[in-house]
């Protein structure tokens, strides 16, 4: 009995020492959903594979050749059986697609109130900038229980943000913003990896996500404050003399920027696009690519002259202007929606984002409050 107890203890120690977790822990709201789909696929594929092997063995024995001169006979399978084994497995396998698409759409769009953190990948580190200006390298502090959206861009090659415990994974690409969001469910420190082979030191491109209780996160924020992203963006905006053209006057040579973010913009080509982060970014780097209707292609591009962090600051400032604009915007009287031609998508011409959906982009009322006396988006088409 004694010998048995000792050997069990030894065995336990051995197992503990060599135990490799089969699955990372579940630390986000996505994790249980992703795992459920994963186990469902595993069960269906495993079940089908095992059934096929067992049936092969069973038939091989049952229908084996019993005498040397026995010949094979042609079998007549009922047509209903043929349909059954085509349709039933197809439905099972299509369920992967259905479930996966449902999960994808659920996880693709961050909630409106998500905390937005800018992330820059470069060979070989992760840099993060919080909305209040805190910067971190290879460490990301986030609050538990609040959706967090990472807006990511690469300074060089393609990287990929991977946090196994959160079950999130998204490529980080040069010259374009990609997004991923998560909501941590329990405090802790979780691995963060680059999962795209990005050069010789790719394996060192690792870090930690530190999920903190909201009050601890607030304490951390207070300790690390360095002036907000938008404030730094504003300083840069003025330093680069952007305010020389984007004056907000009716005669300004550049479009009026407050309220631009999330709004529909008409281009000189007649195309209407949404002014999202990628559009604002492109308009800073290569302003000639998409010119707002009513303006000339006179802005110099800043390709190669700004770091990704500086571009993030400028974008943050321009987005912030949108919020400011919303505060000053007079409440538009509720108007009955104009009749639309049959077949037209009612949402097609409506702006998105922080703009009231009842005010179409082309008909934004002119603000009358002193803070918003400059021209408004819509008095001339807004962009660039």
List residues binding Cu ion (CB under 5 A).
Answer: 159, 194, 198, 205
Of 212, 147, 185, 148, nearest in space to 31 by CA: 185
Tell me the closest approach of the beta carbon of residue 355 to Cu ion, in angstroms: 36
Cβ-based nearer residue to Cu ion, 132 or 179: 179
Tell me the closest approach of the beta carbon of residue 282 to Cu ion, in angstroms: 23
Distance CA 277, CA 317 (A): 11
Distance CA 312, CA 116 (A): 12
Quick check: 181 and 110 in contact, CB under 8 A?
yes
Burial class (CB in 10 A: 0-12, 13-18, 19+), 94: exposed
Distance CA 358, CA 353 (A): 12
Cβ-based nearer residue to Cu ion, 159 or 281: 159
Distance CA 27, CA 193 (A): 16
Tell me the closest approach of the beta carbon of residue 152 to Cu ion, in angstroms: 11
Tell me the closest approach of the beta carbon of residue 117 to Cu ion, in angstroms: 18
Tell me the closest approach of the beta carbon of residue 205 to Cu ion, in angstroms: 4
Contacts of residues 365-374 at CB distance under 8 Å and 24 or more positions apart, as own/partner, are: 365/329, 365/330, 365/332, 367/325, 367/328, 367/329, 367/330, 368/330, 369/328, 369/330, 371/328, 372/258, 372/325, 372/328, 372/329, 374/247, 374/248, 374/249, 374/250, 374/252, 374/256, 374/258
Quick check: 257 and 287 in contact, CB under 8 A?
no
264: β partners = 274
Tell me the closest approach of the beta carbon of residue 106 to Cu ion, in angstroms: 27
Angle 219-221-227 from CA coordinates, rounded to 5°: 140
Cβ-based nearer residue to Cu ion, 126 or 190: 126
Cβ-based nearer residue to Cu ion, 205 or 318: 205
Cβ-based nearer residue to Cu ion, 205 or 321: 205
**Rg for the chain, CA atoms, rounded:** 29
Tell me the closest approach of the beta carbon of residue 203 to Cu ion, in angstroms: 9
Tell me the closest approach of the beta carbon of residue 277 to Cu ion, in angstroms: 21
Cβ-based nearer residue to Cu ion, 159 or 246: 159
Distance CA 248, CA 381 (A): 12
Cβ-based nearer residue to Cu ion, 35 or 155: 155
Give me the helices (H) in the chain, please. 2-18, 30-62, 79-108, 214-224, 229-239, 277-285, 308-328
Cβ-based nearer residue to Cu ion, 122 or 319: 122
Cβ-based nearer residue to Cu ion, 194 or 364: 194
Tell me the closest approach of the beta carbon of residue 28 to Cu ion, in angstroms: 22
């Amino acid at each position: 009995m004694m010998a048995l107890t000792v050997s069990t203890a030894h065995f336990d120690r051995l197992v503990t020492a060599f135990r490799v977790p089969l699955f990372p822990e579940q630390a986000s709201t996505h994790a249980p959903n992703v795992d459920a789909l994963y186990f469902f696929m595993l069960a269906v594929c495993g079940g089908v594979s095992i059934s096929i092997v067992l049936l092969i063995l069973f038939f091989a024995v049952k229908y084996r050749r019993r005498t040397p001169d026995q010949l094979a006979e042609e079998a007549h399978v009922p047509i209903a059986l043929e349909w059954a084994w085509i349709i039933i497995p197809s439905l099972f396998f299509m369920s992967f697609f259905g479930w996966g698409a449902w999960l994808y759409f659920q996880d693709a769009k961050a909630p409106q109130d998500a905390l937005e953190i800018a992330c820059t990948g470069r060979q070989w580190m992760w840099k993060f900038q919080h909305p209040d200006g805190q910067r971190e390298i290879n460490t990301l502090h986030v609050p538990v229980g609040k959706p967090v959206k990472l807006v990511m861009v690469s300074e060089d090659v393609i990287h990929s943000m991977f946090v196994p415990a959160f079950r999130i994974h998204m490529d980080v690409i040069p010259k374009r913003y990609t997004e991923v969001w998560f909501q941590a469910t329990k405090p802790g420190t979780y691995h963060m990896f680059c999962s795209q082979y990005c050069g010789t030191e790719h394996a060192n491109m690792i870090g930690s996500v530190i999920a903190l209780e909201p009050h601890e996160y607030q304490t951390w924020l207070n300790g690390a404050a360095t002036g907000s992203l938008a404030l730094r963006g504003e300083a840069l905006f003025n330093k680069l003399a952007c305010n020389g053209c984007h004056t907000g006057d009716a005669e300004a040579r550049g479009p009026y920027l407050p309220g631009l973010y999330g709004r529909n913009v008409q281009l000189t080509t007649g195309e209407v696009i949404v002014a999202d982060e990628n559009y604002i970014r492109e308009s800073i780097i290569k302003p000639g690519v998409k010119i707002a209707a009513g303006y000339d292609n006179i802005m110099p591009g800043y390709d190669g002259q700004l770091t990704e962090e500086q571009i993030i600051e400028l974008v943050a400032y321009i987005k912030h202007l949108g919020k400011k604009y919303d505060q000053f915007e007079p409440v538009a009287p509720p108007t009955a929606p104009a009749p639309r031609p049959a077949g037209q998508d009612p949402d097609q011409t409506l702006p998105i984002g922080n703009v009231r959906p009842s005010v179409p982009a082309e008909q934004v009322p002119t603000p009358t409050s002193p803070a918003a006396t400059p021209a408004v988006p819509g008095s001339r088409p807004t962009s660039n």
